Amino acid sequence: MSDSPHLSRRSLFRRVVEGLAGLALWRQAQPVSAQSVAETGPLTARVTRPYDAETPVREFTSFLTPAHRLFVRSHFGPPPQEALTEQNWKLTVGGLVERPQSFALKALRELEPVTVTSVLQCSGNGRAFHRPKVPGVQWERGAVGNVRWTGARLRDVLEGAGLRGHARHVQFQGADRPVVSSVPLFIRSIPLAKALHPDTLLAYEMNGRPLPLLHGAPLRVVTPGWMAESCVKWLTDITVRSDEAEGYYMQTAYRMPVTAIHPQSGLPGTSMAPVEAIVVKSVIASPEEGARVGPGPVTIQGVAWSGESPIAGVEVSCDDGQTWDSARLVGEDLPYAWRQWQFVWRPSQSGEVTIHCRATDVEGQVQPRVSPWNPSGFMWNGWDHVTVTVGR
Ligand SMILES: Nc1nc2c(c(=O)[nH]1)N[C@H]1C(S)=C(S)[C@@H](COP(=O)(O)O)O[C@H]1N2
Ligand SMILES: [Mo]
């Protein structure tokens, strides 16, 4: 494919350009100059320290999201570089295993490599659209991307260490640390079934190149089809446990009410479950909000995804959801990846028009007009829309 020798000149050039852009982003991501990324970078910054930034949706006209265009999110920012060098970094596997062990990156690269293309999406993507408003990073539509990950199977590492009988959850910790030591570490766990799934990876590459620092170099967890909070970056410790990880980031944060709740009712007695699978969702990448289009045919395009379930269809409405037309699903169709779609619209009148889209997956889940409200503003998947002006 892109590694074919016939393309080598062009792809080499592209790699150099992307590499430089990545390097610039990586350098600017150091706390001192995060501000300049906010002003000049290809992403829209939401928080500058640590650097949290989302992808402008016009980038979602391509199947893969390049590393330097992928949204960036972390609680404390990347660890110091020294912690991640070849000499200093290692992965430790312990807890309920027969043979606790540690790995250099080279040893992990010697295990059978697996490549999986999957959506990475922050649970807070779309938080800005919940009403009443919810505090937290005000992500709009771009805290998501589609990436080709390569790494070792987590299962191969766990089986190599030998699971003990009461192993039920697998806990992850990275090398990043809060500025103040009283703040809890970002520690997460996933149930054993997901950890042993052959598509769950310890990834060292994205889109065919080593992970950049901002995205978790040298190693991160990738749980295809699940929300990005399980995808722990700068991974250093795997601990097999009989129960879920303790601490704020597993027991308090990233949990959702199991039943719908009313914003005023509060939470007493509501049972809360960890966010896991991604829910069905689509966005319009083109035309952009506020664009002038037509008056001839207009190609509306975007992407749709639904965690562990394939997309069955995407529909478009130009009359506020009264009538819907089916879009055409195009491009690559891979499990866990997003699906591109297109619809050729022939506007019947000029002036302002709001275009909506909604996706359905093969399980029959349909993107709702508005997502259920929840106190952390997670998992927004309401119909997407852009308002355009038809005419000259
Ligand atoms: N070590 C570590 N891993 C982490 C986080 C973090 O703060 N520390 N943040 C998580 C969250 S909230 C998200 S949305 C994703 C973002 O991944 P990205 O920056 O590669 O897009 O990383 C996850 N992994
Ligand atoms: Mo997130």
Task: Give the pLDDT confidence of 63-81 residue by residue, as tens digits.
Answer: 999 999 999 999 999 999 9
CA distance 149 to 231: 12
Identify the nearest ligand to the CA of 183 by its number: 1
Given ligand 1 and candidates 72, 74, 226, 255, which is best to mutate, with the most ligand atoms within 8 Å of its CB? Answer: 74
Predicted confidence at residue 2, as pLDDT, reads 34
pLDDT band at 164 (very low <50, low <70, confident <90, very high): very high
pLDDT cut 70: percent of the chain above it = 89
9 pLDDT higher than 50? no
pLDDT cut 90: percent of the chain above it = 83
Predicted confidence at residue 267, as pLDDT, reads 65
Q: Which domains does the chain have, with CATH numbers?
A: 9-274 (3.90.420.10), 281-390 (2.60.40.650)
Given ligand 1 and candidates 71, 73, 149, which is best to mutate, with the most ligand atoms within 8 Å of its CB? Answer: 73
Residue in 172, 138, 115 with CA at minimum distance from that of residue 47: 138
pLDDT band at 150 (very low <50, low <70, confident <90, very high): very high
State how far Cα 52 lies from the chain centre: 13
**Residue 122 CA: which ligand 1 atom is closest?**
14
Ligand 2 centroid–CA 137 distance in Å is 9
264 or 141, which is more confident?
A: 141
pTM reported for the whole predicted model: 0.90
Residues with CB under 5 A from ligand 2 (ion): 73, 122
Predicted confidence at residue 259, as pLDDT, reads 84
Identify the nearest ligand to the CA of 75 by its number: 1
**Residue 121 CA: which ligand 1 atom is closest?**
14
27, two tokens: 């350098």
Any idea what the Cα angle at residue 151 is, between residues 16 and 278, rounded to 5°?
A: 100
pLDDT band at 268 (very low <50, low <70, confident <90, very high): low
pLDDT band at 265 (very low <50, low <70, confident <90, very high): confident
| Protein residue with least CA distance to atom 8, ligand 1 | 74
> Which residues, 6 or more positions from 349, have their beta carbon under 8 angstroms from its beta carbon?
390
Q: What one-character DSSP code corresponds to residue 79?
A: P
Ramachandran angles phi, psi of 249, nearest 5°: -75, -10
| Protein residue with least CA distance to atom 9, ligand 1 | 74
CA distance 82 to 6: 39
Ligand 2 centroid–CA 143 distance in Å is 8
Predicted confidence at residue 266, as pLDDT, reads 67
CA distance 46 to 138: 7
Report the half-sphere exposure of 383 (CA within 13 A, side-chain side). Answer: 17
132 pLDDT higher than 90? yes
- Whose tokens are 């949204």? That residue is 71
pLDDT band at 262 (very low <50, low <70, confident <90, very high): confident
CA distance 289 to 291: 6
**Residue 234 CA: which ligand 1 atom is closest?**
1
pLDDT band at 27 (very low <50, low <70, confident <90, very high): very low
pLDDT band at 235 (very low <50, low <70, confident <90, very high): very high
Predicted confidence at residue 49, as pLDDT, reads 84
Residue in 184, 202, 230 with CA at minimum distance from that of residue 76: 184
290 pLDDT higher than 90? yes
pLDDT band at 32 (very low <50, low <70, confident <90, very high): very low
40 pLDDT higher than 80? no
b/e 114-143 (16+ beta carbons within 10 angstroms → b) = bebbbbbbbbbbbbbbbeeebebbbbbbbb
Q: For the segment 173-188, what is each residue's pLDDT rounded down to a tens digit?
A: 999 999 998 999 999 9
Predicted confidence at residue 28, as pLDDT, reads 36
Q: What one-character DSSP code corresponds to residue 280?
A: P
Q: How many CB atoms lie within 10 A of CB 269?
A: 6
**Residue 174 CA: which ligand 1 atom is closest?**
1
382 pLDDT higher than 80? yes
Predicted confidence at residue 30, as pLDDT, reads 37
| Protein residue with least CA distance to atom 5, ligand 1 | 74
Predicted confidence at residue 62, as pLDDT, reads 96
Task: Give the neighbor-by-neighbor strand order of the sheet with 91-95.
Answer: 101-103, 91-95, 235-241, 169-174, 187-191
Where in 112-161 does DSSP place strands (E)?
Answer: 113-121, 144-153
**Residue 75 CA: which ligand 1 atom is closest?**
7
Mean pLDDT of 11-19: 40
Predicted confidence at residue 15, as pLDDT, reads 39
Report the half-sphere exposure of 34 (CA within 13 A, side-chain side). Answer: 19
Q: Please list every protein residue whose CB sits less than 6 Å from any atom of ligand 1.
A: 70-75, 120, 122, 174, 176, 186, 214-216, 228-229, 231-234
CA distance 91 to 229: 19
State the chain's mean pLDDT as an integer: 90
Query: By three-state DSSP, how is residue 389 classified?
Result: strand
Q: For the segment 182-220, what is each residue's pLDDT rounded down to a tens digit?
A: 999 999 999 999 999 999 999 999 999 999 999 999 999
Q: How many CB atoms lie within 10 A of CB 175?
A: 20
Lowest mean pLDDT among 24-38, 289-303, 333-347, 351-365: 24-38
Ligand 2 centroid–CA 325 distance in Å is 33
Q: How far is CA 278 from CA 168, 216, 316, in A?
A: 22, 21, 22
**Contact between residue 309 and residue 282 where contact means Cβ atoms under 8 Å apart:** no
Predicted confidence at residue 392, as pLDDT, reads 72
Given ligand 1 and candidates 231, 235, 236, 254, which is best to mutate, with the most ligand atoms within 8 Å of its CB? Answer: 231
